[in-house]
Structure 1
Amino acid sequence: MDDIVAGFADRPYYDWQIAHERVVDAQDATTRPISLEDRLSDALADNGIGDLYEHQVRAIEAVRDGRNVVLSTPTASGKSLGYTVPAVERAMDHGGRTLYIAPQNALIADQEESLSDLAASLGFGSRVSVAQYTGRLSDDEKRSVRDRRPTVLLTTPDMLHYALLPHGHRLWDWFFRSLETVVVDEVHEYRGVFGSHVSLVLRRLARMAERFDADFQYVACSATIGNPVEHASAVTGQPPSSFTLVAEDASAHGPTRWLLWNPPLHAGGEGRRRSNHVEARRIFTDLVQRDLQTLVFTRARQAAERYAQQSADRLRDRGKSDLANRIAAYQAALTPDRRRELEADIDAGAVRGVWSTNALELGVDIGTLDAVVLDGYPGTRMNTFQQAGRAGRGADESLVVLVAGEDQLDQYVMAHPDALFDGDPERAVVNPANEQLLDEHLACAARETWLGPDDEGVFGETLPDRVSGLTEEGVLARRTTDEGVRWVYDGDGSPQHEMSLRTIGDREVQLQARGDTIATLALSDALRDAHPGAIYHHQGRTYEVTDLDLDRHVATLSPSWADYYTNVLTDKEIRVETDLAERHPFDRDDVPVRFADISLTTTVTGYERTDGTTGETLSRHTLSLPPQTLRTKALYFTIPADLERTLRTMGDFEGGIHAAEHAIISMLPTTVLCDRRDVGGLSTPMHPHTGASTIFVYDGYPGGVGLVRAGYDGIRDLTAATRSMVRSCPCADGCPACVQSPQCGNANDPLDKGVAIALLDALFGDDSMAIEGPT
């Protein structure tokens, strides 16, 4: 790779922008023999699998010993054999069944093909049969699956929720009676709202299996996260002590050359950098031209399509039409057949360059590639290494280029590369105790099989109160049986089909263009993104919202050629309902941090139009929209009066606490797996609950899904990283790389970076640095 890296300096459009270079050393495989049934050993050999890696053997042995297992190793380390071997052994021995659950249909199709090939190699009479059960099957195909009664069934959490559990006694009793293994693949994907829903679906699965006297084990497969056992336990409802952790990768890989690539600042534009998209496209084109099979990860579907086309055009301009015709875009909106075709072409090397969303981040088998380019920091260390793990062809050296954007996390990684390579992995969190979610799933559980006192062990100690409330609302009905008091669902229809696993119950607004619904948004999102006058982008087209009818829940859109974008302006009020916990994490002991149950009232008061090229504010407009109230969780801390007096002498105090709030929110993904849009904040020079200047950071979902709780638990490290990020930014007054936020409801006004630094310094007892300004 030395000549390729050096070649970047020869291109006139680069300005030698490598902020950091590192080589991750190669690793030899560590294998260990394991006793396998002859037919299984031969079938694995037929599929190109010889000796098993140490981590695969450890996982198989733990399952054989009756343990739950968490396999937490990198991409392409062969995690699937950790559950494949036990699944096949149990099916061959006595017809024991396995349920495989994955978050995406593409993963299910990939696993079905691999498992079916293995089953075919076992020969007739092996008792191993494989089928997927997804929403893409027709009714006849679904009936055929049930009639064939496979020993390995592959599905999504959604289908488990909508189709299997509601009909467990009538259509699936044969499956649940002999269920022995449940595989939860990509368990790190189950976090936040979706993960909290899935955690309750799996608790319902445990109830159903118990009704049929089935005793199954979990095998959870995860990327490298900071809390694999804790997270698997929270998702599955099984005690942490029941899990064996297998986390040391014993697979072989060649050396990986990492380049952290920071686009230069625009001349005269403080804090504004050259586009990471343009840089990534140039790097990608050069690598493909140098005959490196290259994959770029970018964030948006339309970006993947657009930049793939532009890259192909650049290659044609260079006289490389043969390569231009072998460039592709991969994203979730493609048809299943087209995705499978692309995966096969990538694996075979027919496609030489791919632009992809994170749809290729998960375990879909596309072989290995020469190089991966990350178009912007993916947001977390976990996602970064998941995506980078696609590079690596045998023992050959591979290349990963991380091209930074201009926001806080990207620039933090450029300035602190050790935080990326040597820092602690982020934690994944769920909140199955969220009362709004729990009530919905209790209704589903009571529809599937009646609720009883024993279910407190499944759903938690709040069950009696929740059941009592649902009974008063007429959702559940109390029954006296020979076995004691029970509760049954007392509503009409199917509660499963009245809820989505991807949201927390919110009214939805239809976005209509020319009479057709092109998308739907939750009401809270529609007030922000689909208000009258909003510019809305969808599938590569630009629209202006001409009307928002909240009675009909319809937003009307018209095609637009607008070259500006819109941001809402909001007023927020926070009422602290209950303080739940308190800690003193800072060197200043008079700054306690509290975790609380809060009510947040948000009113969209207007919006501003911003030039899409210069970022200049073009105009402001008022709106009259109803306030929305969110009951959620927050962390907060107050500013002691003596410190506030000092900070007020240094600049704009309100701007300083506002800037600090923005910066803390931007760095939360360094602690917990989330997007900064999942949380919000409020800073105020006087709050009625505290009687002092206060900074709040709140969970953006009703009831909270554990994000801010994780931030509260790690608040000292989070604040230390925030301080380091803000101080290392070279700008003088604050920019998108430190204290500005694209989600700010006050248009980033006021902000005072210097006061924010002084505040963060003071929390750690360092008042001397506060006066010096940024370094």
Structure 2
Amino acid sequence: MSQTPIKKEESNDQDDKFEFKKYINEGKLPLKADNPKKKPQLGTIQANQPIPSIFDNLFNLFKVINTTYTFLYLRNSLTITFPLLNSSVKQSLKKELTIGDLSQLREICPQIIELNYKSLASLALEINKNVYTDLNPELYTGSTVSQSSEYVLVIELLETQERSSKRRRREGPTMKANIQRQKLDFNNLKKAIELRNQKFLQGIKEYIKKCQLTELDPTQQLLTQSRKNQPVPPDSPSIPNDSIENCNLNTKACSIEELLNEIASESSYEGQIVQEALHTYPAVEAQYGALSRPLSQELINALYTSRNIEKTYKHQADAINHLWNGFHVIVSTSTSSGKSLIYQIPILQSLLEDNQSTAFFVFPTKSLAQDQKKSLIDILSYMPTLKNIRVDTFDGDTPLESRESIIRSANIIFTNPDMLHQTILPNANRWYYFFKNLKLFVLDEAHVYNGIFGVHVAFVLRRMRRIAEYFGNSQYRFVSCSATIEDPLQHMKKIFGVDNIKLINYTSSPSGSKKFVMWNPPYVDPKHPDDGKKSAISEASKLLIKFAEKRVRTIVFCRVRKTCESLMRLVRQELKTKQKGDLLSKIQSYRAGYTVQERRKIESEMFNGKLYGIIATNALELGIDIGSLDAVITIGFPYSLSNLRQQFGRAGRRNKSSLAVYIVETFPVDQFYLKHPILIHTQPNAELTLDLTNEVLLASHLQCAAYELPINIRSDEKFFGNQIQDICEANLEMVEESYRPHPKYLPFPASQVRIRSVSEDMFTLVDVTNDKNVILELLEPFRVALTAYEGAVYVYQGKTFIIRLLNINKRIITAHQVDVEWSTLQRDFTDVDPVRSLMKKTMHGSTNIYFGAVKATLHVFGYFKVNKQKDILDVVDITDHPVEIDSRGFWIDVPWHIIEVLSLKKINGAASIHAAQHALLSLMPIFISNSGNDIRTECKAGEKEYKEAKSERRRPSRLIFYDNCGDSSGAGLCNKAYEHTDELITMAIERIESCDCKVREGCPGCITSSKFEGGVCSGEVLDKVGALILLKMLLCQHVNLDIYADGPEIDSYHALRTLIPSC
């Protein structure tokens, strides 16, 4: 391959010593680079191979830009645009600077140089206009920019060295806005410029060496890649075909093995695949079973015509046979094993034998119900005998004028637990014939019914059984389907309150092989592990784009909405930067909160093959059919093994080979499975939690039951348990020897008993950009407090919005779309206080652990504007609207002598407690199945804990946790965690001691949890050593204090100044 000749420019080397103050005062800029007497020399990379001239020229160019940029940045503004930089350097260069030049510089050293197009509207928000009063306005907007363009290229040279994490924690992030006010002498300024020059020089050497190792011509590679990745404005009308290289879009997706081999052979691969964790689930051949009764020929024909089904799999046949033999059935099998046919065949056969038969199909979400309804109607369309059978949806969107007709004539109703509770059961008399003819009651996705929501649904179903029996029907059967869960038989018994159940927990449907890959992000700098690892989001972005290029249909699961939107935003940016415009419309984000119309559109596009990738929260864990998927990428451990396995099951749903990639984050639970990868495949799922002894919830449902039918203690004990009499006597009204609702629940008790958050509690987020007034999504009050305060940067579908107005009374939030390069981080703290102890146990003879009622109060008093490097640009105060939660929790009172020991070591007691809490919190998913933020703790703010003035917020020396879901009676999750406190503390000690991080503030691998990811906690107040000492002393372990360095506090008083004894 021949090199492209490049004419070498004349060097401008001469002594450029100048007076810093003179140039600043006169507003002039130095035109030369650094001192030639100390000019770094490129030298040679390999023997007899001189440096190509293009790299020598680019090094000289970078030195000029580096010096000029630094003085522009210090004197003028936070933002250096291309027109401004070009105007300042062209005199020295004797030519115009081009975007191609900058693209080549970035290709060599992307860790130093960033090029991004920003909208003029976002710059207007970001920049202090007074800065530019002495500059030509064209230098800012750019005379070379098209009048129709709303974007300008922004250049940023990044720092070569960051402060240590210790300094960053103690001093707080730097404020970039104040950099021009720092007192820098000439020597320090010169040093900063030279450091960047040296970094770029090293980048040249590494670039050439990398090309030589892969037998590529460095000059040709530089020219090709820089043209390919040259930035273009987002509003550019088209992308040149010769710079796209067709986006590598194949007409056919490559195989999983080919894809992995290609990834591992790329120069950017850094050994992320954990070899010892590789696991292949072999392909499984089908096993068929026979039904014990013959099906009608019409049903056989319909199954074959609509689904190409000729025979049933063994697990399907066994389940159907059990139903016909009078048993209830729980089906706990892998994803895409044909569970829906287990209830579709019996009800269709029953309708052929008796067209008055009815069935309830209950699903936790509307989208899943609609998906299954479509599937059933598809079969019915081939059964002329059942042409008059009516299948309907009965949910909150069903028009009032249609409901009476549905009640009178529908045979199969798709609904959800909320409608059953609020509308169907309270009006049971209107449903008499439906209950009288009920043959089948289906509860799909049984694993969803966990915690407080599960307890509510269990009591709703007992009310349903009671009404059906009153109407003379006890012959119907329950069918419940679930992902693979721990002890599904016991779970169904708790949910329905019945015993004659048969369990189907084996899968006989065919499946392709599935490759499991654990992906461990590499260190940012392998020579400096303390700098941390590359983010899981950036790794996921690269993988997703790679998969999309190869037409490997992929779903990416994120734990929280914020991660989902951040990844979508990063994917958009990378596709624009790489000019892979053909893929921009092929990847979408999907999560709860989007409007129904938006979600149905995304589901349809994925099903029809129009999308190559979806970035989702667990909203798509459930069995919505979005077509055949080839790969799943899971970012971080998703709260439980059951969730992880459910997500893996979404790929390969059409018997194809598939790929499951688990990107390990640095949180303790991820590190636990990184150390023990085999447990991902062998460890039992965490237990689901259903606390049916919750008398508060039972009392509220007895109010509803008494409204539906007067309660008779003797006959109703079998539904609600033997505690019913005491609860009725205390909470209901005795009328004519039976119990009726208490007057305070009238006229309609169900409206006062909420089984989960409902829409009237929500805030509506509205896009008011250009007066469009489009609803984006609905937000819970707690989420509003953390993410949608006035001034917050909010991300939706990868697009950024500024929250303009928060109307608490009308529950309306307005947002304006704008491109900004900064984000916001709330300034907050949470107070969690015990209200009443219900249980107590003593650990190791001295430490008391309590379970009981707690109150949590969240205070958001302001926010930071933060750039991508996490530097603070501005600090803003806002009006605090405290959010209160009454719940259940558990707490450990830390004996004061432990705090005194920490103070003698000058270790901050509050930071030690906070770190210990998050270390325990991060490990709870090993024992408890929850939704991530279902359990929370008291979080501390650096502004409150580290301020010099005496703090008014002095908190008890206590580790405390609470259920963040449900009502004042909690969700039963903390009750389960309370049972495992010994194991949690022991595991936390092991995790901290085995973590390799060297900083007191710890890392996500030891004392920080995924709560930081979702913005629930800022993670400022942490001390790893203090947490370790505290937890060991709680277990009465011997602690050799001499082996631990003293903490950062100046004396023992400052170490405990924000704490008081817990008892």
Matches within 5 A, 1:705-724: 705-724=971-990
CA contact (8 A) 1:608 1:618 kept: no
Q: Which residue of 1 aligns with 2:520?
A: 262
CA contact (8 A) 1:280 1:403 kept: yes
Q: Does 1:633 align with 2:894?
A: no
Q: Which residue of 1 aligns with 2:1003?
A: 735
Query: What is the SS of the residue equivalent to 1:38?
Result: coil
Deviates more, 1:536-545 or 1:85-94: 536-545
CA contact (8 A) 2:335 2:653 kept: no
Matches within 5 A, 1:355-370: 355-370=615-630
Query: What is the SS of the residue equivalent to 1:368?
Result: coil
Q: Which residue of 2 aligns with 1:17?
A: 272
Q: Does 1:443 align with 2:700?
A: no
How many residues get paired? 751
Q: Does 1:455 align with 2:716?
A: yes
Q: Which residue of 2 aligns with 1:687?
A: none
Which one of 569, 589, 602 corresponds to residue 828 of structure 2? 569
Query: What is the SS of the residue equivalent to 2:710?
Result: coil
The Cα of 1:202 is off from its aligned counterpart by 1.7
CA distance in 2, matches of 1:464, 1:534: 52
Which one of 430, 444, 451 corresponds to residue 690 of structure 2? 430
TM-score (norm 1): 0.84
Q: Does 1:696 align with 2:960?
A: yes
Which one of 173, 176, 197 corresponds to residue 456 of structure 2? 197
Query: What is the SS of the residue equivalent to 2:337?
Result: coil
Q: Which residue of 2 aligns with 1:132?
A: 393
CA distance in 2, matches of 1:772, 1:417: 32
Q: Which residue of 2 aligns with 1:293?
A: 553
Q: CA 1:707/1:29 → structure 2, altered by over 3 Å: closer, same or farther?
A: same
1:76-113 CA distance string (max 9 Å, x none):
11222222233233333344422110011222122112
CA contact (8 A) 1:542 1:562 kept: no
Which one of 36, 58, 62 corresponds to residue 322 of structure 2? 62
Q: Which residue of 2 aligns with 1:26?
A: 283
Deviates more, 1:389-398 or 1:18-27: 389-398
Which one of 523, 534, 537 corresponds to residue 274 of structure 1? 534
CA contact (8 A) 2:541 2:571 kept: yes
The Cα of 1:54 is off from its aligned counterpart by 2.7
The Cα of 1:577 is off from its aligned counterpart by 1.8
Which one of 831, 834, 837 corresponds to residue 578 of structure 1? 837
The Cα of 1:391 is off from its aligned counterpart by 1.6
Query: What is the SS of the residue equivalent to 1:169?
Result: helix
CA contact (8 A) 1:226 1:425 kept: yes
Q: Which residue of 2 aligns with 1:176?
A: 435
Q: Which residue of 2 aligns with 1:688?
A: none
Q: CA 1:602/1:322 → structure 2, altered by over 3 Å: closer, same or farther?
A: closer
1:113-156 CA distance string (max 9 Å, x none):
22223334444159865332233333444344334331x22111
The Cα of 1:176 is off from its aligned counterpart by 0.8
Q: Does 1:103 align with 2:364?
A: yes
Q: CA 1:386/1:575 → structure 2, altered by over 3 Å: closer, same or farther?
A: closer
Which one of 401, 421, 425 corresponds to residue 681 of structure 2? 421
1:637-696 CA distance string (max 9 Å, x none):
455788777766765554333312111112222222213422223599xxxxxx995422
Which one of 915, 924, 937 corresponds to residue 659 of structure 1? 915
CA distance in 1, matches of 2:931, 2:785: 20
The Cα of 1:768 is off from its aligned counterpart by 7.9
Q: Give the fraction of aligned pairs with identical amino acids, expressed as a percent.
A: 26
| Counterpart amino acid of residue 676 in structure 2 | H
Q: CA 1:615/1:439 → structure 2, altered by over 3 Å: closer, same or farther?
A: farther
The Cα of 1:721 is off from its aligned counterpart by 4.1
Q: Which residue of 1 aligns with 2:1057?
A: none
CA contact (8 A) 1:758 1:767 kept: no
TM-score (norm 2): 0.63
| Counterpart amino acid of residue 484 in structure 2 | T
The Cα of 1:522 is off from its aligned counterpart by 5.8
| Counterpart amino acid of residue 509 in structure 2 | S
Q: Which residue of 2 aligns with 1:38?
A: 295
Q: Which residue of 2 aligns with 1:7?
A: 262
Q: CA 1:26/1:611 → structure 2, altered by over 3 Å: closer, same or farther?
A: same
Which one of 727, 740, 743 corresponds to residue 487 of structure 1? 740
CA distance in 1, matches of 2:444, 2:1017: 41
The Cα of 1:434 is off from its aligned counterpart by 4.2
CA contact (8 A) 2:860 2:881 kept: no
CA distance in 1, matches of 2:558, 2:487: 27
Query: What is the SS of the residue equivalent to 1:219?
Result: strand
Query: What is the SS of the residue equivalent to 1:424?
Result: coil
Higher strand share: 1
| Counterpart amino acid of residue 97 in structure 1 | T
Query: What is the SS of the residue equivalent to 1:124?
Result: helix
The Cα of 1:221 is off from its aligned counterpart by 0.9
| Counterpart amino acid of residue 428 in structure 1 | L
Q: Which residue of 1 aligns with 2:34?
A: none
CA distance in 2, matches of 1:345, 1:505: 27
| Counterpart amino acid of residue 204 in structure 1 | R
| Counterpart amino acid of residue 179 in structure 1 | L
CA contact (8 A) 1:312 1:325 kept: no
CA contact (8 A) 1:415 1:728 kept: no
Deviates more, 1:491-500 or 1:700-709: 491-500
CA distance in 2, matches of 1:349, 1:624: 47
Query: What is the SS of the residue equivalent to 1:286?
Result: helix
Q: CA 1:678/1:117 → structure 2, altered by over 3 Å: closer, same or farther?
A: same
Q: CA 1:57/1:698 → structure 2, altered by over 3 Å: closer, same or farther?
A: same
Q: CA 1:68/1:616 → structure 2, altered by over 3 Å: closer, same or farther?
A: farther
Q: Does 1:371 align with 2:628?
A: no
Which one of 745, 757, 775 corresponds to residue 503 of structure 1? 757
The Cα of 1:334 is off from its aligned counterpart by 6.3
CA distance in 2, matches of 1:415, 1:405: 13
CA distance in 2, matches of 1:505, 1:135: 10
CA RMSD of aligned residues (A): 4.2
| Counterpart amino acid of residue 740 in structure 2 | W
Matches within 5 A, 1:608-687: 608-609=863-864, 611-616=866-871, 630-638=885-893, 651-682=907-938
Which one of 119, 125, 134 corresponds to residue 380 of structure 2? 119
CA contact (8 A) 1:601 1:629 kept: yes
- In structure 2, stretches of 5+ residues that fail to align are 1-255, 941-954, 1046-1063
CA distance in 2, matches of 1:324, 1:589: 61
Q: Which residue of 2 aligns with 1:218?
A: 478
Query: What is the SS of the residue equivalent to 1:196?
Result: helix
- In structure 1, stretches of 5+ residues that fail to align are 472-476, 685-690
CA distance in 2, matches of 1:107, 1:638: 45
1:453-484 CA distance string (max 9 Å, x none):
2434433455445444545xxxxx5421xxx3
Q: CA 1:642/1:399 → structure 2, altered by over 3 Å: closer, same or farther?
A: same
Matches within 5 A, 1:288-367: 288-299=548-559, 326-331=586-591, 343=603, 346-347=606-607, 349-367=609-627
Matches within 5 A, 1:519-598: 540-544=799-803, 552=809, 559=816, 563-570=822-829, 572=831, 574-575=833-834, 577-582=836-841, 588=844, 590-591=846-847, 593-594=849-850, 596-598=851-853
The Cα of 1:537 is off from its aligned counterpart by 5.5
| Counterpart amino acid of residue 752 in structure 1 | D
CA contact (8 A) 1:683 1:696 kept: no
| Counterpart amino acid of residue 739 in structure 2 | R
| Counterpart amino acid of residue 485 in structure 1 | S
Q: Which residue of 2 aligns with 1:474?
A: none
CA distance in 2, matches of 1:60, 1:123: 23
CA distance in 2, matches of 1:300, 1:201: 30
1:578-623 CA distance string (max 9 Å, x none):
3425375xxx4544644x2233353637445262423356677777
Q: Which residue of 2 aligns with 1:751?
A: 1022
Q: CA 1:315/1:25 → structure 2, altered by over 3 Å: closer, same or farther?
A: same
